[in-house]
Chains A and B, each alone.
Chain A
Amino acid sequence: MADGTIDLTIVTPERAVVHEEVDELQIPGAEGYFGVLLGHAPLFSELKVGEVAYRKADRWFFLVVAWGFVEVQPNHVRLLAETAERAHEIDIDRAMRAKQRAEERITRGGEDVDYGRALVALERAVIRIQVARKAEHAVNA
């Protein structure tokens, strides 16, 4: 199926982030990244913190998602995420600060530190920074 597009929706409790016709996308599944093209077999997967990339014609767009689920059907993809941010919406300074905070918490240790939470925070911050940088390059290129 060379023509036709995938109907992609990304929703969070706060808002509907994306509702677009796309040609191709990449999703951070809990078991690893996977790509989706038109006509994909129905699939259901949990997401991890990561980067969603989708292509419209010859342009790629990037988003950061944190925790969620994806439901893939041959001609549409529905993604439910707790938070989702488009690359250009990301505040790099904030992400940097969050990263620093998480790192401090992890290295400092102590009984009051929730390691799981700190690690998730760190992971999120790192990915946000990566994706935001990518968006910058895309604009500059």
Chain B
Amino acid sequence: MPSLLDIRRRIRSVKNTQQLTKAMKTVSAAKLRRAQERVFSARPYAEQLKRVLGNLTSRLEDVSHPLLEIRSEERILLLVITADRGLCGAFNANINRTAQAFIREHKDQTIHLVMAGRKGRDFFRRRAVPIRSEFVNIFSRLDYGHAKDISEAIGKAYTNAEVDAVYMVYNEFKSVIQQRVVVEKVLPLGRADLRETEAPLDYIFEQPPQEIFNRLLPRYVEIQVFRALLESAASEHGARMASMDTASRNAGEMIDMLTLNMNRIRQAAITREIIEVVSGAGAL
């Protein structure tokens, strides 16, 4: 049986851990709020861009662009978005598992990996699939530039015909306590995505529409990647908050249990002493 001192020490240590997890939870809650706002504030731009692209598409007779070219999917680029840091429950593990499943499903094709986030990079570095490029330690200061870099890398690979399709796997932000792993096709861009619903106005174009279209299309890829990054960041904080909450609660339970145990041992010791005294008195 552990001694009283051991248990006391143990309780103190668990209490320290609990303090830590509680603090992390508070921090994540604050970061989550900010990340959530960023997800929302990125939406108007994405919507406008999509609308404008749709407008242009319906005006151009011949819409052709390297990013729209459909080839048979022999080589696939997979963009895997994880977090840079751990301690957020199954957040990273879910992504890595889904990415592995994806690779298994497409074992007849060649897979190129592009990793965003340190945790996924570390996971796949030890595995047989080669990593084409990696973007790590970006989530603490995430901005549009990162999305630009990533989409430039994947856009180049696609237009140079090094890969025939681009998918991305990331955590979609459903709610504060819920994330969903999604696999999305990024390239080739679906023409249906760009269909215009409202009747297009007769614009004066300062530059040829085709030229504008060609410049706009890469931005569309960028904003998609950016949205995925933002959603992933928000999900990460949500996941961390939830798991730290659970951890704090578990620590609380453990402290209760240990305290009970400690009291029991203390009582047992007192009882034993009394018996000793009583039986000593009886023997006299």
Contacts and interface: CB of A to CB of B under 8 A. Distances in A.
Interface of A: 9, 11-16, 29-31, 41-46, 69, 71, 73, 78, 80, 82-83
A78 B48 contact: yes
Interface of B: 38, 41-42, 44-46, 48-49, 52, 143-144, 147, 201-207, 209, 212, 215-216, 222-223, 226
A14 B43 CA distance: 9
Contact of A42 (B48, B144, B201): B201
B45 A11 contact: yes
Nearest to A16: B44
A43 B42 contact: no
A71 B206 CA distance: 11
Given A46-B212, A78-B48, A14 B38 contact: yes
B45 A12 contact: yes
A71 B52 contact: yes
Given A13-B42, A82-B144, A44 B204 contact: yes
A43 B203 CA distance: 5
Main secondary structure, interface of B, reads helix
Nearest to A34: B206
Nearest to A31: B206
B203 A14 contact: no
Given A43-B204, A44-B204, A44-B205, A14 B52 contact: no
Nearest to A80: B48
Contact of B216 (A15, A31, A69, A83): A69
Contact of B48 (A11, A41, A82): A11
Given A11-B48, A71-B52, A42 B204 contact: yes
B102 to A, nearest CB: 27
B203 A44 contact: yes
Contacts of A14: 38, 41-42, 143-144
A14 B227 CA distance: 10
Given A12-B45, A13-B45, A80-B52, A42 B203 contact: yes
The 9 closest A-B pairs by CB, nearest first: A45-B206, A15-B41, A44-B203, A11-B45, A42-B201, A43-B204, A11-B44, A42-B203, A13-B144
Contacts of B143: 14
Contacts of B216: 69
Contacts of B203: 42-44, 71
Contacts of A78: 48, 52
A46 B41 contact: no
A25 B48 CA distance: 20
A29 B206 CA distance: 8
A16 B47 CA distance: 12
B201 A46 contact: no
Contacts of B44: 9, 11, 16
Given A14-B41, A42-B204, 6 more contacts: A13-B45, A14-B38, A16-B44, A29-B206, A41-B204, A44-B52
6 contacts: A11-B45, A14-B38, A31-B207, A42-B204, A71-B203, A78-B52
B207 A13 contact: no
A29 B14 CA distance: 63
A37 B110 CA distance: 55
